[in-house]
Amino acid sequence: MKTPFSRILYGGDYNPNQWPREIWAQDMELFKKADINSATVNVFSWAKLQPDENTYDFSELDDIIALLSENGIDIVLATATGAMPAWMAKKYPEVTRVDFEGRRHKFGQRHNHCPNSLVWQKYAAKLAGELAKRYGSNPHVVCWHINNEYNTGCYCENCEKAFRVWLRRKYGTLEAVNAAWNTEFWGHTFYDWDEIVAPNDLSDGMGFGFTRKTAFAGISIDYDRFLSDSLLENYKMERDAIREYDKETPITTNLMGTYKGLDYFKWAKEMDIVSWDNYPAYNTPWSLTAMKHDLMRGLKDAPFMLMEQTPSQQNWQPYNSLKKPGQMRAQSYQTVAHGADTIQFFQLRRSKGACEKFHGAVIAHSGSGDTRVFKECAQLGTELKGLGDELLGAKNPAEVGIIFDWDNYWALEYTSGPNIDLKYVDQIHQYYRYFYERHLPVDMIPIDGDFSRYKVICAPVLYMVKEGVAEALERFVEAGGTLVTGMMSGIVDQSDNVHLGGYPGPLRKMCGIWAEEIDALAPEQSNTLVFGDGSRSKCSLLCDLIRLEGAEVVASYGEDFYKGTPAVTRNSFGSGTVYYVGTQPDSEGLARILDELKVEPLVRDETPLEIDKRVIDGREYWFIINLTGTPQAMPESFKGETDMLTGREVEELSGFDTVIVKR
């Protein structure tokens, strides 16, 4: 995979416009001291660049770009459209959003525009074009950064009208819309396009505390698709404006991992390179962070950019713990190990005011280069500089694919029943964690991906099975692949209408079972899995009541009125095998099931260290990362090897240490 960069970009968000100019020179010296080679600028500068609708003032940005260029700093140049200026909201109040509760917002915060406002689109596209015309030929501008952390949530009249147009294109006729949404339910039949309204809290949306449900999942899922598409059109609009003047520089926008609102697989098709912002909490499992990295890599099956992380602590989470000594470095190498070609921070200098003044930065409020955090950033910068361009574009080979699908994400969590604790990302992560802990590389793959590349595909809670998906999975299994699926799979079609004929719908033949009923277990309840050798483990959340239709039993339930009935099954189909896991096993039980897959790990060593491999041009780069915080012995597989970062042989890794071995 060709990378667009000539070196590992190391830097982050930089806002010199917030500081007097004498600070800028100090920053340049500190950047050199820390081997910082890139800066992301102009993310929220629209109000400064355009003080009114007819005036542009690029004088300060000219100086910033000239300063960075003179100092050999690569520039990630943002289009500044992440927050509109106050004059726009004042003169054109329709540019602001209407939220789920039906309230029109005033000017404030960021991510504050209606994606279907023609006024906003006009000014955003023009600004992007003006920036590209002015700076697109600057060789130090190595990447364009459109907007910032796009998120969804507008239910205004602009969006209602655009939604109706979107529906006409998708369905053609109102009859097709009524059929797709099953509008006979609750007398919702539509006879005119103008009768369709946005499904927020004032219509068919239902807000229960922090959970948003809906009376008509078909409507709400289509509205989520529409909102994702609307913001994607905003992105494409700015991208195309840039391309009028700059034909080659890569263009991106920073994504947010498993953020629910946008279909990132669809977005990635329009992006030159994926970038994302990684902000785990103090108690986020390292496996979940790794999974999100792999998802970002999987969006384009290519290396990605880490656009933001904090060098020390966040400010917006409930508990904003400091990173322990060495933890930022280890976290950064975990990112590189999973496919990143950049390490960037928010932020390079800590703000002096507003809501992010306590968000971590390379340069703290003291302005000193003598802090612990700065020294750790400088160490990492020196090491990344030493790696040069060797790792750029390297791949992450994997034999296991885990399906991640935003339509399923939306549909599963809109479902009224059977259990409010059923969460899409949690279910995916349980399977990912098994492979992560056993040094088994994973690709996170789309529902329409190339399944033939893998020996094993896991499709937990594949609730929505759209047209062609079952057939593609059948071809994969018939050719010798192994599929793992289970509870809440094969239930509905693309409009959230149930596949009639018994669960798991179009997967039933392949799975060799019929799930007749689904029992929901409250948090204090559980059941037991009983395996063939008599061993037992706990299960919870949901229990499918299964009848065999050709499959064999791997484990049965040990309790309740369905004691002794199948809970986990295995079915031969063509040359392959399908496992159906009809409940949520605990980690021990899931391991017992997945151990049957016989996938070859990267190493056989039993070690708590994370081990990853990237490959390019016949070279292998092995990452051995100690995320435990306590000393760990070097695995036998790497005894006597030389660490690329230190040039020394390593016998023991201290807490949060990392070793890279080249083979």
**What's 647's domain CATH number?**
2.60.40.1180
Strand partners, 344: 11
Is 154 annotated as contributing to ligand binding? yes
* 156 in a known ligand binding site: yes
Other CB atoms within a 10 A radius of the CB of residue 96 amount to 22
In terms of domains, do 482 and 590 share one? yes
Question: Per-residue pLDDT averaged across 641-662, rounded?
Answer: 96
Instruction: Answer whether residue 365 is part of any domain.
Output: yes
pLDDT score recorded for residue 208: 63
Beta-ladder partners of 569: 553, 580
Distance, in Å, from the CA atom of 36 to the CA atom of 345, rounded to the nearest integer, reads 10
pLDDT at 533 > cutoff 70: yes
- Residue 393 resides in a domain: no
Give per-residue pLDDT as tens, 285-337: 999 999 999 999 999 999 999 999 999 999 999 999 999 999 999 999 999 99
- What's the pLDDT at 2? 58
User: What 3-state DSSP class applies to 180?
Assistant: helix
Is residue 40 located within the same domain as residue 139? yes
Is residue 164 assigned to a domain? no
CA-nearest of 272, 329, 263, 327 to 295 is: 263
Domain count, the chain: 4
Rounded Cα distance, 610 and 336, in Å: 13
Strands 456-458 and 400-403: parallel
- My answer on whether 212 and 325 are in the same domain is no
- Does residue 479 fall inside a structural domain? yes
CATH code for the domain of 58: 3.20.20.80
- The answer to whether the annotation marks 316 as part of a ligand binding site is yes
Q: Which of 387, 418, 446 is the last residue of a domain?
A: 387
Q: How far apart are the first and last CA of the chain?
A: 19
Same domain, 558 and 615: no
CB-based burial of residue 319 (10 Å sphere; 0-12 exposed, 13-18 middle, 19+ buried)? exposed
Model confidence pTM above 0.95: yes
- Residue 528: give its domain's CATH number: 3.40.50.880
Asked if 130 and 258 sit in the same domain, the reply is yes
Residue 564 has pLDDT above 50, yes or no: yes
Residue at 163 is within a domain: no
Q: Which of 358, 387, 416 finishes a domain?
A: 387
Whether residues 304 and 423 fall in one domain: no
**Domain extent at residue 619:** 610-662
Q: CA triplet 166, 171, 177: central angle to 5 degrees?
A: 100
Percent of the chain whose pLDDT exceeds 70: 99
Residue that finishes a domain, picked among 363, 387, 411: 387
Residue 166 lies in a domain: no
Q: For the residues 545-570, what does the mean pLDDT come to?
A: 98
Domain membership of residue 260 (yes or no) is yes
* Same-domain pairing of 628 and 658: yes
Q: Is 112 a known ligand-binding residue?
A: no
For position 1, what pLDDT does the model report? 46
Tens digits of residue pLDDT in 245-258:
999 999 999 999 99
pLDDT in tens, 68-81: 999 999 999 999 99
Q: Are residues 207 and 248 in the same domain?
A: no
**Contact (Cβ atoms closer than 8 angstroms) between residue 519 and residue 542:** yes
Nearest to 496 by CA among 187, 228, 225, 180: 180
> What is the distance between the alpha carbons of residues 568 and 542, in angstroms, rounded to a whole number?
13
Tell me, yes or no, whether 431 and 374 share the same domain.
Answer: no
Q: What is the mean pLDDT of residues 126-151?
A: 98
Residue 392 lies in a domain: no
Are residues 404 and 267 part of one domain?
no
159 is in an annotated binding site: yes
To the question of whether residue 110 is assigned a binding role by annotation, the answer is yes
Residues 587 and 465 occupy one common structural domain: yes
| Catalytic center residues | 149, 308
- Residue 117 sits in the same domain as residue 195: no
For residue range 384-409, list pLDDT tens digits in order: 999 999 999 999 999 999 999 999 99
Mean pLDDT in residue range 357-370: 94
